[in-house]
Amino acid sequence: MAGNIFGQLFRLTSFGESHGPYIGGVLDGMPSGMVIDYDAVRQEMERRRPGMSEFQSPRAEADIPEFISGVLNGMTTGAPIAFLIPNTGQRPADYKHLEGVYRPSHAGFVWDAKFGFHDHRGGGRSSARETAVRVAAGAIARQLLSLYGITITGFTSRIGSVSLPALPVNPDPEIIYKSILRCPDPETETEMNALLSRLREEGDSTGGIVHCRITGVPAGIGEPVFDRLQADLAKAMMSINATKGFEYGEGFAAASRKGSEHNDPYTRSGRKLKPATNHAGGILGGISTGEEIRFNVAFKPVSSIQKMQETADKSGELQKLVIGGRHDVCIVPRAVSVVEAMAALVIADHMLLSGKIPRNIF
C-alpha cells in the first residue's frame, strides 16, 4: 500500500490500524540538537484524543507516544525519530455486525474496490485514529518551528449552520484550548453546543470549518510550479479524514472580487517592503510573503450516525442499517489539532528545503 509517507526532507511515515495493537510513525529529517518538551507533546495529544466532551466518541485512550529511536537524553540525534502509540481502547466486537456491510459514505466500499478487502473494525487505516500519529509528529515540528518564531493557531469557525460572526484579529490560544469546541467566542460556542445537543438526541451529525493562521514564516518559503506552499498545505489538509475543502487567503470569495478590490498594494515598513493588505493569505506565486498565512479547512458530517440508513452488503443485497458504536457528533473540534499538526509538518519541510533551518541546531 502506497501513500503512507508525507513530506520531502521532513518526512513522516505513518503505520498501524484503528484496532491493531499500535499505531505509530517515523519522523525523518529532524535536525539534531533539539531538546524535546515531552509535556508539550502530551498536551497536543490531549487536545486531539476522544472522550473529552459529550459530543465526542467515548473511546478513551491516554495516547502517550513512546519514542524508541532518534532521541538521546531527551535531545534529537538527527536519526529517524520512531514512536509507538498503544491502542488500549479498541472494541472490535462493536463492529462485528458491519463485517459484510458497507457503511454509507464510509471508505469500506472503495477499499474493497481497490484492495479486495476492508477492515470493518473502525475502518483500519482509513480511521481517524491514524491522526494521532500526525499530532505526535506535528508536536515535534511545532517545537522546532518555535525556535524560529513561527506559531500556528487553529480554531473552530463553524459547526453546521452556526459560525463566528467575524474572525478574531488576534485569537488567544489559551481561550481556544479551554473551549471544548475549540471556539474562540463563548457566545458562538453556546449556540454550537445547543446545535450539537439537538443532533445528538436525533442520532445525527454535522460538519464544520477549521480556520488556521501561521505567523512568523519569513518571506521566500515555498517552491514555484508544482511544490507551491499552498499546494503542499492543500495536500496536507485534504489528506485528513473527512475533509471536503481547502481555501487560503480570501479563497472562493476572491472569485467575485474586482482586481482593484483583491490586489495587495505594497508599502514600506522601515527599510522593508511589505503588502499593505493580506488578501493573498500570506502566499503569492506559491511562495510566502512574510505576512500571516491564513486558510480554512472544511469537514463533512461524521458518516457513522445512529439513524436508520439504506445500504447494501457485499453480495449487493439492499438492507437497513443502524451503525451503533462510539462516534463523534462533529469531528471539527478534535480536527483543530490535526490541522495545526499538518501545517507544522509542511512549514518545517519548506523551512528545511529553503535552508532556513540547518540540519543541526546545536
pLDDT at 128 over 80: yes
DSSP letters spanning 142-188: HHHHHTTT-EEEEEEEEETTEE-SS--SS--HHHHHHSTT--S-HHH
Task: Give the model's pLDDT for residue 241.
Answer: 93
pLDDT in tens, 59-98: 567 789 999 999 999 999 999 999 999 998 766 666 677 7
Report pLDDT for 95. Answer: 67
- Per-residue pLDDT averaged across 121-125, rounded? 74
- Label residue 279 left, alpha or beta by phi (over 0 means left) and psi (-120 to 50 means alpha): alpha
* Amino acid, res. 166: A
Q: Are 230 and 221 in contact (CB under 8 A)?
A: no
Residue 245 is placed in which grid cell?
Answer: 475543502
Mean pLDDT of 327-337: 93
**How far apart (Å, rounded) are the C-alpha atoms in residues 254 and 117?**
43
Q: For residue 292, give every residue at least 6 positions away whose Cβ sits within 8 Å of its Cβ, in sequence order, or none.
A: 213, 214, 215, 278, 282
Is the predicted pLDDT of residue 126 greater than 90, yes or no? Answer: no
DSSP state, residue 276: S
Give me the pLDDT at residue 55, please.
56
The per-residue pLDDT for 320 is 85
Domain boundaries, the chain: 7-353
Spatial distance between the Cα atoms of 170 and 189, rounded to a whole number of angstroms: 18
Mean pLDDT of the chain: 91
In this predicted model, what pLDDT tens digit does every residue of 278-319 receive, in sequence order?
A: 999 999 999 999 999 999 999 999 888 888 888 888 888 898
Q: Which of these, 156, 165, 166, 171, lies nearest to 53 by C-alpha position?
A: 156
Q: Rounded to whole angstroms, how far apart are CA atoms 16 and 85?
A: 9
The CATH code that applies to domain 7-353 is 3.60.150.10
